[in-house]
Structure 1
């Protein structure tokens, strides 16, 4: 039996997933949690094979930080990200933090079942769009010098956009309003791009942006 812990802040979603998975002869839902801290406690208690993890849980620890902490305390437990976010930055961060797979909530039920079984066998699983994006990033890194993560070319277009705006002095709230995204998403992109560029402080970021000609002082 594949023992599964469901983590999602919506009770209706958890209920629907529990019914779907429990109907499979090789799967058992051993617990549910509505946010990260509860998920870690439940995982420590029931020791699931797989944690089906939502990313956005606004009323507690989110899916990314929960995944990172969970992999530290239960390294043998696989985490399969189940999310509505079709965004490469969430994908890359989730995989970097130890997730074994990433699947969209909009995916067919059959694909979700297949993904769970795939991960349970010790494999990684990515939905087709995510696989295409990862391959694209890999080929792009090869094209720009063998995969050096500390280069401007390693940034996504959204990260480049946020880099320029941060360097120009805009706050996270300003950037969120201009790009019509959440402040939390801006913070995530900002953290990711600074990791890629090996930058630690805002002055470092501004210096980098100046070297790249990203600052328009005539504006």
Structure 2
């Protein structure tokens, strides 16, 4: 893991040389970030990650030999690698998004994002946080809300409802969580940021961050992304009637 004084070590994985060069220029010119290597496919990325010990791996999705999603799954499970994976792709496709999150990626960013967004994303995942924007959260919610709605209607032989939204009225939260942690989990699963949760609960952002850290530890979840998925898969938050 990095220290406060150490630069963030980045491995860039993309089969296009021009893309790798662009990312390297942006990141190498940024104070506190060092690009330590490059790879042209997922298979090479695994070997380079084991060798170079990066803190962050900027991973493309579509590559020859081994794609970025397969590589991410292996890297996350590899005890020799302690790096956060940031998925970078040209394609704004939900299937890539969900597969990346399920594979264990810590963030998902489109290649048409600004250089500032790339720099911020690298710093965020290097710090151990998940890059989960409100837009991404809402898409995760929509996926699970839609799936749960379909399952509910199948069980109850009901017709589809035109519009649905999340509501915090599902299965009780796990008993290991305090009442406030459970409340934070429900709000987090509805796509709220720490600032929005703090405003809703009338507490400071630091307090919310502590609650989020505690509930992740108690539920053995890696990050906010997994917390959102956990809440919907366990019907702690369910689609509204």
Query: What TM-score does the superposition give when structure 2 sets the normalisation length?
Result: 0.57
Find the partner of 2:66 among 47, 61, 64: 61
- Which is further off, 71-80 or 20-29? 71-80
Find the partner of 1:139 among 140, 145, 154: 145
Find the partner of 1:5 among 6, 11, 17: 11
1:205 match: none
Q: Does 2:122 correspond to 1:112?
A: no
Q: Does 2:94 correspond to 1:88?
A: yes
- Which is further off, 1-10 or 137-146? 137-146
Q: Does 2:56 correspond to 1:50?
A: yes
CA distance in 2, matches of 1:71, 1:43: 11
Q: Which runs of 5+ in 1 are unaligned?
A: 149-219
CA distance in 1, matches of 2:114, 2:106: 19
**Are 2:53 and 2:81, in contact at CA under 8 Å, matched by a contact in 1?**
no
Return the offset for 1:135: 2.0
Taking CA–CA contacts closer than 8 Å with sequence separation of 6 or more, which of the two structures ends up with the larger relative contact order? 2
Q: Does 2:83 correspond to 1:71?
A: no
Return the offset for 1:128: 4.8
Three-state SS of the structure 1 residue aligned to 2:125 is helix
**Are 2:49 and 2:81, in contact at CA under 8 Å, matched by a contact in 1?**
no
The alignment covers a number of residue pairs equal to 146
**Are 2:20 and 2:38, in contact at CA under 8 Å, matched by a contact in 1?**
yes
**Are 1:103 and 1:127, in contact at CA under 8 Å, matched by a contact in 2?**
no
